[in-house]
Structure 1
Amino acid sequence: MELTLKISPPRAPRHLLARTRLSSSAERFRDRPVAIVQAPPGFGKTSLLAQWRHEQLMRGCVVAWLSLDGRDDPRRLFVGLMLAVRAGSGRAAFGKHLLEGGAAPDAPLEAITAWLAEVARTALDIVLILDEAEPLPQASQEVLVYLFENLPANLRVVFASRGGYDKLIARLIPYGTCTAVDAATLRFRLDETIALIGSRFGADVDADTSARLHDITEGWPLGLQLALDAIADTHDPSAGIDAFASSTGGIQRRFVSALFERLNSDDIRFLTLISIVDLLHGDLCSALSGFPDARQRLLRLAGETPLLCNAQGRSGWYRLHAMAREVLRENVADLPHAELTCLHKRAMQWLADHGMTVAAARHALACGEEETAYRLVQRSLHEAVTQGHLVDVAEWREWLPEAVLDRHPQLRIAIAWALAMSDRHQDAEAQAQAVLLSMRPDEATRYEIDLILSAAAYFADEPDRAECLMEKWGETSPVGDAWLQQVHANRLAARALMNGDYAAARQLQRRAPHGKTSAACRYVSRWRDYMTGLGYLFEGQFLLAERALRPALDRADNDLGRRHPFSCMIAALLAATRFKRGDFEEATALLANRLDVLERGGTPDAVILAYRTAARVAVAAGMEHRAIDLLGILDAIGAARNMPRLRVASLTEQIRLHSGCFRSATCQTLVEQLDRIVAAHTVSDAPITRRTLVLHQDISHAYVAIAAQDWRAAKHALTRAQGVAEEMRLGAARVDIMTLRAFVLDRIGETSTALLREAVGLGVACGMKLVPLDLHPAVALWMDAADGAASPSSPPEQQSSTATNAPVPERHDGLRATPSMALTPKERDVLELVTRHLTNKEIAFAMGIGQETVKWHMKNLFLKLDATSRKQIVRRAQLMGLLLEAA
């Protein structure tokens, strides 16, 4: 009876999401006879096995399932394997002679060899799934290793464990016979989280809310499932997720506490003490906790619980799950003051001794040693800037007294750098000026101050001022510091981009020092990817833009985090690319839960692209109200930060949106507001700003004229806009304008076929999938009509004949048989008819065969499914995966 349960697959989760990238037919799993899934509990190993079982059954394979445990010695393992294949294949005689004495119980390898030979003789494609393998005795593990190394061609094995099989993986992978799935692979990606939540709550939860939950749970499968179960009964799922995210009512604490219940008191105290630091190492944990077995305890908890995971890119380092860390730090706050102070001192000393001075300074402040904190910060704050920890550096502005900053100008410079690359550019300029007033700067310091001021001007959307600040330093950095040389190259590339010299910008980046061995240069070097991707976007080279941006985003998300400002900027550019290529779903996922970060720390171009893309996706989804709200936010950001380009971009998009519905009066009101902004900011000494604003103005006037159906006015406005776009070498904008011009010329009665053909050809050549509906719904209708006239399909009478003679597929409700090799095609047909409660006579009539033949097939079904009634046949077939719900 117990073995019967072990060979019975578990019930599939109710809301199982079949993840395409983890499909058994994916490239990494295809043609690999062994797949080893190894991860701590809660990472969805069994759910993945259930997905693979379903997929293999649908391919017609025999799937044998065996759950293992610590009592599975070699003999018991052999019996389990025999019965698993027998049940999965429906062959009651499989291995009968082996079980009755053909295999020697004291020779496990010989028994397994005989079992493998029996499997090979079946000539069936068999997939063996072994779950919960971690407690196996050593002798049984050796038997499995032998099995893996001697698989017949018709057998694949899927093996799942919490851990302990790293050596086996390392032994098999070099021969190409094995593929491994770890916890990092099993974590949900954002698009999978969005799909999972969508399957539970439909359109009630938007992508932004889904992304918040994803970021909180860090893609941990069990965490997602428990969180969704916790909010499943709420009236408003979005409000429930928001409450979970903010831990309102202690929802998050109850969630984490459920995991702590499985730990003993020593483990909980250990985790509480080490939670005060962000990154964990065995020696650091030993210094903090005082536990003599701290290193072993850390490794054990990382392997047995989902509370700890490897720190990205740091061998031997771990970090606590964000939710667990938050709850544990609440517990830390309840410690006695003297104990808490001592804990922070230990952290400060260990981190300072190991060169992690910024983190050490935080703990120095926490334990009241302010002078020590200031001394540590002085040594490391500029280093933190070079490594991209801008938010951390900016926070120190609130903690460092003016007197300390006056004594240490380098601290002001570091803080000015962090503030410059954010929405606090005025504060950055104040810090930079304070440095100049507090000392007699040398040329190197003046040069760095100008770099800071140019960064502040760039983030403040003052490109002309940023260009002026760089002109006096020429084309070459006057200092030998590799980091500043890369910053200089970035500034020159940004200047080239602003002037439309995109190829020159890429050439400047290629000539810059790469600093491959310098940690200080890694972050600033990432800006090459941003500049390259932005230049390709402006040019309209969307294939090249995606090729540059996608790997850059993967690296940024892994190294810096999904909500780091730089990651969000790259995501904004890639989202704009994906939208132009027609992938609205990925564009939505890329921007989800990132707009707020971009608002605080994104470049103006990234902010405009992000909000404009999000608004256009909303329109494509039929949510005009959402698009108007997003564009209103963009306008408000521009007004609050005194950035006219953001306001003009927002108004242009609003005019385009209303023009699509021919709301002439609304368009006129908006364009008057836009004209006032442009008039106030198009000054002669700011040519870059003037060109950009005038381009938006011309496009807006064209849309206003289209809304009023004043086609000649639209033609003149688009002609002016095309001239500006060509002057700025904006290939993407030029293609859109050409398409609109072709439409307007056609309305006037002029020839536009050649112009439209050229626009479409340019879009195709650059990988841009023209979205005429996005330009204007009337343009989409016109282009559809033009396509129909240019390349008609079959004649109407032929179309009618085809439609009449096309067979209508028959739909069956209820259950349908899967194409498993356990049953013959005729047996599957009989099984389906049995599910519809037909008698033998009715089955014979339906299949066009004799009743004796039906009785023969029914006898085989009773034997293969080990059933004693028709009802049991159906139930057993469902349990074995031979019957599934009809789609």
Structure 2
Amino acid sequence: MPEHKNQFSSANAPVRDEVGTAQAPAGPSGKSVQPASMVRLKLVDQMENAGSAKLMLIRAAAGFGKSTLLRQYRERCRATGRQTAWLSLEPTDNDLSRFISRLDACVGELDPEGLIEGGVLDTISDVEPVYTLLESIAGQARPFSILLDEFEVIQSPAVLNFIQQLLAALPPHGCLVIASRTAPEIGLGRIRARGQLLEVDPGALRFSLEETGTFLRETHRLQLDSGDIAALHRCTEGWIAALYLAALSLKGRDDPSAFIQSFSGSNLNLAAYLAEQILAQQSEECRRFLLQTSVLNRFCAPLCDALTGRNDSQAMIESLLRANLFLFPADEEQRWFRYHSLFAGFLQDVLERQTPGAARELHRAAAHWYLSVKQPIPAIDHLISAGDTDEAIAQLTEHLDDLVRGGLVRLLVRWLAQLPPAALGHSPRLQLASAWALVLCRRYQSAQEFIASYRPSPEIESARVILLACTDRMEEAYEFGQSLLRRLPTDDHFVYGLTANTMAYVMQATGHYEEARRLLSEAIPYVSQQGAGFMRNVAASVESILDLAQGRLGNALARLQAFTQQQADTAADNQFGAQISLDMIRSVTLYEVDDLEGAQRVLNEGLSYSIDSGVADALISSHVLLSRIAALRGDTVAGQRYLNDLETIGRDGGSSRIQCSAWMERTRVATLEGRLDAAQQALRQVEKYSDWDRPDVFMYSNDVDTPAITRLRLRVAQGQCAQSLDGLREAIAEAQGHSLMRRALKLRLLHALALDGAGRQTEAFDVLTEALQFASHEGFLRTFLDEGKRLAELLQRWAVTFQARSRSLGIAPGFLADLLKRLEPARQDSASDGGRDALTKRELQIIRLLADGCPIPEIATKLFLSENTVKTHIRNVSVKLGTHSRNESLAIARARGLLD
């Protein structure tokens, strides 16, 4: 926009804009250091193979390595026989005659063939030199590139017009390469539309994580571990000048990790660089806009207008974009933007020094704007930053139901941690939400301390029930919750709804099945319309869990399919918590009927939520099933990684059941692979963490995976078959007594193996027949398949005698044929590549944000996920694409069109 054209200055400055050579501000000696540069091989290759591009534009802010890339491209051209002409521009080149004179001298370095003899500036006219120079460039016979560095100094319409003429005059084998801090006004849209433009933008110029590691370890000889390198890469977002200045500061430090954790826009070297190279070069109006909007994590033009009192923020933002002043689009529509995190931190420091207290007022104005457009989440963020505790509490309370249903538990924990403890004293609902959020984040000790710090109230007592349930103290939760439900007023649907939901889970776990169904049915009329949807999700989950546990797999599948379809038809919003449980049980049923692709698809969609804030059952089901699916597809490394992640989560949260589940699966795998010594060692860990296992408590994720079943399987494999028979019969009777028919089926298969191993084949066949009779009418497949080769061999021997009589034995022949086919060894040895699922919607979001240059913390903030969850998604993407690094994943995703 014309009125802003001269607000953004990019005049030459002492510090060059080079990869690895961005100089620090001058020290006492008045000199700065020039370290070695690092070759940007992929970018140089891209430029060399630019095809029909007439213009290559390298554009970014200071310190992104534009000049170094230009030099490296020139070296490549020389090595391949392509001619080059280099011109570093100066402000005085805005005079057309001077520009043409200097360019002519530069072009004169090319092959003299085709040039006008005697030069082109011997005439008086200004017009003749222009056209003579254009003709000489057009007449070049050999491939060539003209390189113009620091083009941002050019603002003269006459010179810009000449550049457009030059582009039109270039022969097919000629190319113009421009390095600039700003986007030059030379009709880029037209050139782009013709397919004649190659752009190397800030995202491409940023160092990747691997390049950052090479730069720090090899170029600067710094001994840093991978965590430190990743942290520095994350905070610099690959900005080369910042990495260089950080590297200078790191030399000789005893505690590099502490420095890296504290590295920000207030770092003295970086602040001096930004002050001199960026801020000082801008107009007063531009500086004021930058400082005022620096308090915003993301911003759009209307929000900026509200903060600054302007009415032309859109034009200002567009000018900032053209000037490449560390401004990046934050959405695909380019309505929202953000500053580089270090640049924003620097601006915030300057704002506080120049105008103390101004940031609070700006945060307050931002909050009011967000509330006016009905976006309470960022409004609450700004209210807390402004110190408006009362208003923040009021907004939190007003929107609490939506926050809880949306599952924004980590956000709630972060907010509430920033509020004074006394602020929650008069808001019991927020006390409940705080405890609930802490529990779902698996911060059990913090939740216990929080609950103990308040006097008893219905909300605090409800929080206690949630804590007891999520720490597997089901009997206590049942007794205490029963008493609470009788005293709890039903008119507070928030408290009553959370309590009833928790108690349904507890009743199911303690065997009070009908009581759980009745509670959910009775609770629906007492909650809000959205709360009723939540309760229906919970009811569907409980019914499906009970159906599966009691052996009614067909019923569970039908109910889940119908409920899922109903949600799709009504476009119902997912109800957090209940939806996780519903998805997990759905994945278990799909896995049971050997629909591995369907199970993995559902698991991948829900994995991030279960990691972020899922109860133990969701975590165990998701990780164990994903581990099994990965192993079945030949990717044992990924399979073990899921179990390692599960164990880490359990250890960090202090959950013995989660840790035990990881070790039970390791024991199962080692047992089936015949690694019995390893299985015995793993079993010792199972026993160490088995305190949660009690006969009258049922945890659905451990329905067929208990310490007792794990122990019995290993004993049978070790040849202790006769000694295991009594224990197996007792376990079967106990499972049947609790109506756990799926567990009884699993135990019957182990019983059959034990009888066969004890030399009692006829009895083994009888038990196997009984198991097949039950399984065939419900479709249980993986219960058989997961017992591996020994059971497959026993079934094959059984089939020789009994397959022809299967119908008369009450066994569905189609099921039997299907099961025997799936038991073939080839099934277990299938290649991993053929079964990789497509990326999930969430994984696509994350890989696209990575491709846009977003660091992991920013991705986590945008998608309301934890950083660990984002990293898990990135690892899943790597597994699915078969890659070994983030850059490789991005390259494969780009090649497959996943980033379009």
Answer yes or no: same fold by TM over 0.5: yes
Correspondence for 1:870: none
Partner of 1:244: 260
CA–CA separation in structure 1 for the residues paired with 2:545 and 2:70: 50
Separation (CA, whole Å) in 2 of partners of 1:161 and 1:568: 41
CA distance in 2, matches of 1:61, 1:205: 40
Does 1:672 find its partner at 2:684? Answer: yes
1:16 aligns with 2:38: yes
The letter for the 1-side match of 2:684 is E
Aligned partners of 1:385 and 1:414 also within 8 Å: yes
| Gap regions ≥5 residues in structure 2 | 1-15, 22-35, 452-457, 464-483, 726-748, 755-767, 797-822, 838-900
Deviations 1:240-287 (A, max 9, x none): 244212349x98454334322443496777755554443345665576
Residue-by-residue CA offset, 1:321-342 (whole Å, 9 max, x unaligned):
3334445556667789876765
Task: Supply the AA of the counterpart residue of 2:57.
Answer: I
TM alignment of 1:501-650, pairs within 5 A: 512-513=567-568, 603-604=619-620, 633-634=648-649, 636-637=651-652, 640=654, 642-650=655-663
Out of 490, 496, 500, the residue aligned to residue 441 of structure 1 is 490
User: Does the aligned pair in 2 maintain the 1:668–1:704 contact within 8 Å?
Assistant: no
Residue 160 (1) aligns with residue 160 (2): no
Give the SS at the match of 2:338. Answer: strand
Give the structure 2 partner of residue 97 of structure 1: 117
Q: 1:600 to 1:739 in 2, by over 3 A?
A: closer
One of 37, 41, 65 as aligned partner of 2:62: 41
For residue 177 of structure 1, what is the aligned residue in structure 2? 196
**Aligned position for 2:802:** none
> In 2, distance between residues paired with 1:338 and 1:493?
51
Cα offset for 1:24?
A: 0.7
Distance in structure 2 (CA, Å) of the matches to 1:173 and 1:701: 66
Report the Cα distance in structure 1 between the residues aligned to 2:99 and 2:715, rounded to whole angstroms: 74
Q: Could you give the per-residue CA deviations for residues 286-338 of structure 1, whole angstroms, max 9, x where no partner exists? A: 76568999887776666657554444457454434333444555666778987
Matched to 2:38, the amino acid is L
* Contact kept in structure 1, 2:376 and 2:399, CA below 8 Å: yes
SS at match of 1:243: helix
* In 1: Cα distance, 2:146 partner to 2:366 partner: 49
Q: CA deviation at 1:165?
A: 3.5
Distance 1:717 1:505, change over 3 A: same
Whether the 8 Å CA contact 2:647–2:662 is kept in 1: the answer is: no
Give the deviation of 1:649 after TM superposition: 0.7
Q: 1:130 aligns with which of 140, 148, 160?
A: 148
Q: Which residue of 1 aligns with 2:759?
A: none
Alignment of structure 1 residues 363-378 onto 2, 5 Å:
364=383, 369-378=388-397
Structure 1 residue 212: Cα displacement: 1.8
What SS is found at the alignment partner of 2:199? Answer: strand
| Contact persistence 2:152–2:181 (CA under 8 A) | yes
Q: TM-score, normalised by structure 2?
A: 0.56
CA contact (8 A) 1:608 1:634 kept: no
Matched, 1:761 2:864: no
Distance 1:467 1:159, change over 3 A: farther
In the alignment, which of 270, 275, 286 is matched to residue 255 of structure 1?
270
**CA 1:414–1:631: 2 relative to 1, 3 Å:** closer
CA RMSD of aligned residues (A): 6.6
- CA separation in 2, counterparts of 1:171 and 1:56? 27
Q: Distance in 2 between matches of 1:700 and 1:202?
A: 55
Say which structure, 1 or 2, has more relative contact order (CA 8 Å, 6+ apart).
1
For 2:274, what is the secondary structure of its paired residue? helix
Q: Name the residue aligned to 1:796.
A: none
Question: In structure 1, the residue corresponding to 2:58 is in which secondary structure?
Answer: strand
In the TM superposition, residue 636 of structure 1 has moved relative to its aligned partner by 2.4
Residues 214 and 283 of structure 1, relative CA distance in 2, 3 Å threshold:
same
1:631/1:650 contact within 8 Å kept: no
* Matched residue type, 1:140: V
Which residue identity lines up with residue 68 of structure 1 in the other structure?
L
The answer on whether the counterparts of 1:217 and 1:322 sit within 8 Å (CA) in structure 2 is: yes
Tell me the amino acid that sits aligned with residue 567 of structure 2.
Answer: A
Q: What is the alpha-carbon distance in structure 2 between the residues aligned to residue 41 and residue 127 of structure 1?
A: 24
| Aligned counterparts of 1:486 and 1:211: Cα–Cα separation in 2 | 40
Contact (CA 8 Å) 2:646, 2:658: kept in 1 or not? Answer: no
Where structure 1 has 5 or more consecutive residues not aligned to the other structure, the ranges are 1-7, 553-565, 573-595, 746-753, 769-887
Residues 489 and 52 (structure 1 numbering): CA distance in 2 closer, same or farther, change over 3 Å?
farther
CA distance in 1, matches of 2:43, 2:592: 32
The alignment partner of 1:259 has SS state of: helix
Partner Cα separation in structure 1 for residue 542 and residue 443 of structure 2: 20
Q: Which amino acid aligns with 2:835?
A: C
The answer on whether the counterparts of 2:520 and 2:535 sit within 8 Å (CA) in structure 1 is: no
**1:693 matched to 2:705:** yes
Q: Is the 8 A contact 1:413 1:431 kept in 2?
A: yes
Whole-angstrom distance in 2 between the partners of 1:145 and 1:339: 45
Counterpart amino acid of 2:462? Q
Q: Distance in 2 between matches of 1:545 and 1:31?
A: 47
Q: 1:465 to 1:671 in 2, by over 3 A?
A: farther
Distance 1:700 1:636, change over 3 A: farther
Q: CA deviation at 1:111?
A: 3.5
Alignment counterpart, residue 228 of structure 2, candidates 202, 209, 221 = 209
**Percent identical:** 19
- Give 3-state SS (helix, strand or coil) of 1:99's partner: coil
Distance change in 2, residues 1:730/1:79 (3 Å): farther
TM-score, with structure 1 as normaliser? 0.57
Contact 1:67 1:132 in 2 (8 A): yes
CA distance in 1, matches of 2:17, 2:652: 55
Could you say if the C-alpha distance between residues 79 and 351 of structure 1 is closer, same or farther in structure 2, counting changes exceeding 3 Å?
same
Aligned partners of 2:406 and 2:576 also within 8 Å: yes
CA contact (8 A) 1:652 1:700 kept: no
TM-superposed deviation, 1:75: 4.9
Whether the 8 Å CA contact 2:534–2:575 is kept in 1: the answer is no
Contact 2:412 2:437 (8 Å CA) reproduced: yes
User: Partner of 2:131 in structure 1?
Assistant: 110
Structure 2 CA distance for aligned equivalents of residues 637 and 546 of structure 1 = 26
Question: What is the CA-CA distance between 1:695 and the residue it aligns to?
Answer: 9.1
Q: In 1, Cα distance between the equivalents of 2:71 and 2:582?
A: 40
